[in-house]
Amino acid sequence: MQRSAVRPSPVFFGILALTVVGGLLAAFGDASTLLTSDQDPMVVAGVFILVIAGWVLSLTLHEFGHAFVAFKGGDYEVASKGYLSMDVRHYTDPVLSIVLPLVFLLIGGIPLPGGAVWINRWALRTRTVASWVSLAGPLSNLLIGIVLTVVVMLVPMPVGLLAGLSFLALLQIATFVLNILPVPGLDGYGAIEPYLSPEAREFGAKARPWAPLVLFALLFAVPAVGSAFWDLVSFIYGAVGGNDIAAAVGQYTFLFWRH
């Protein structure tokens, strides 16, 4: 019987520590300047670090979720690949997985999928397990988003920290919505793929390299598509208790170079 070798790496704890540092800076800076052109650099730096480090942390947990469910479902190779170490370096290609998604995040606030784990789906016991392997990633983002919104609602905190956590929570919901779409190359498609016909799976395999790029182009280039996406994100964010105003302040602070 296989046992999971979940041993969080020092890299994971380092990113977690950086996230905490960002939160502390956001909490102890002068939040009265948040909506002015003369924002306190301490708050701006805090929100920026909190969001970036928090996003990388959530990317780690997203991919770990895929790997952990795959391990429990029969793919024991994920342990030898380092996927159970929560080390983001095992989940990423430096350019495609970190640089490019961060560039898009900095440009428009859309948190593109950034990591990848290679699962031996032939080793998975059932089609249901294969679907849950795909769903584990986006569901982890949804859970993180819900936890953050609950914390913001229930725990009194300084405005700067509240704004940063609210925007980070919104990004988690956006990541969930984006990844859950049934588009080849995204987790939503991976969840239904085991139940598709061989012909449909063959088409999906051919579309996988370019389908997400078409989706991202539509999100950026077609206002109606982008608006529909963010309307759905806002609806879910509000449904779980998200604070739209605080998230907007957090986004404004995060994108400090725009004003």
Q: List residues with catalytic annotation.
A: 63
DSSP secondary structure string, 57-111?
HHHHHHHHHHHHHHHHTT-THHHHTTGGGT-GGGS--IIIIIIHHHHHHHHH---
Assign residue 101 a region: left if phi > 0, alpha if psi is -120 to 50, beta otherwise? alpha
Instruction: Give the N- to C-terminal CA distance of the chain in Å, as an integer.
Output: 58
Amino acid (one-letter) located at 103: V
Do residues 194 and 127 touch, judged by C-beta distance below 8 A?
yes
Contacts for 184 with CB less than 8 Å, ≥ 6 apart: 204, 205, 207, 208, 211, 212
Closest CA to 184 of 151, 210, 158: 210
CA–CA dist 165, 149 (Å, integer): 8
Helix (H) or strand (E) holding 5: none
CA 116 to chain centre: 12
Cα-based torsion angle of the residue sequence 212, 103, 17, 26 in order, rounded to the nearest 10 degrees: -120
Would you give the distance in Å from CA 64 to the centre of its chain? 12
